[in-house]
Amino acid sequence: MAITRDDVLKALSTVTVDRGGTTLPDSGRLSQVVIDPGNRVMFSIRIDPSEAERFEPVRREAEGRVLALSGVSS
């Protein structure tokens, strides 16, 4: 089954980036959602380097949500 950008965005909409509940897609930090022909999904989360430690749990959760999609290969 082919994965779509909408599938990825829906999965990432369950990931929040702050205590206020802002979702990753709504935060303005998500960019470069790419799905290759082999259903490998790649995306970027824009952060300031000083935020790296604080955003590591967000990155891990986002990665896990996307990998949990049926058909995603990596």
Range of the domain at 12: 5-67
Query: Residue 73: inside a domain, yes or no?
Result: no
Encode the chain (74 residues) as per-residue pLDDT tens digits: 789 999 999 999 999 999 999 999 999 999 989 999 999 999 999 999 999 999 999 999 999 999 999 999 87
Query: Residue 36: inside a domain, yes or no?
Result: yes
Query: Residue 74: inside a domain, yes or no?
Result: no
Looking at the structure of the chain, the number of domains it has is 1
Query: Residue 44: inside a domain, yes or no?
Result: yes
Positive or negative CA dihedral for 8, 9, 15, 18? positive
- Here the tokens at position 15 are 């990931």
pTM: 0.91
- Contact present, 15 and 33 (Cβ < 8 Å): no
The whole-angstrom separation of Cα 53 and Cα 10 is 25
